[in-house]
Amino acid sequence: MATRALIFDIGGTIFDWNAALLDALERIAAPPLDRRAFTLGCRAGFLQMTRAVVRGEVAWMTADQILAAAVDAEWKKTGLTELPAPDRFELAHAWRRMPAWDGARDAIASLRKSYVAAPLTLLSWPMAVGSSRMNGIDWDSILSCDVLGFYKPDPRCYAGRRDRRLRPGRNHDGGLSPQ
């Protein structure tokens, strides 16, 4: 059977989550801190909290809520004064404006000439749509775990796939790969 659809992750694969948080730190004129360590800590906290939701250790949260909690936790580690609400909002919504990696837009457009292309992503719908629009990337669909109600690598994310040969891969993000 020929491949008709390509379903893959976009956070970190198509979009640069790190640059988005670094840009947000610039916009809020954050005080001196190790910005790279902060952004890496936010991403790690996001993934840890997502896994806790999958394991049932934490009640369901949207990806936006998870990122906001990760930002808050990482900010507390800096020992700096509490973030003003507008600055906290700016950081918590940074992934709605992620820049795409060079060539990503053209690559997706090229793939869509022959295949249905859709992300299955941990990102919230607003994160995926906002970042896609900002970069001029069009998809045939967006499968957000927020909408599905399950986060990768929970097998229920993949259960609804029409082609049952697609199963969680062994890559870093629990993306899809042929079995």
The CA distance from 101 to 39, in Å, is 17
Residue 134: closest CA among 84, 104, 96: 96
Domains and CATH numbers, the chain: 5-15+100-178 (3.40.50.1000), 17-97 (1.10.150)
pLDDT tens-digit map of 105-161: 999 999 999 999 999 999 999 999 999 999 999 999 999 998 888 888 888 887 755
pLDDT tens-digit map of 32-45: 889 999 999 999 99
pTM: 0.84
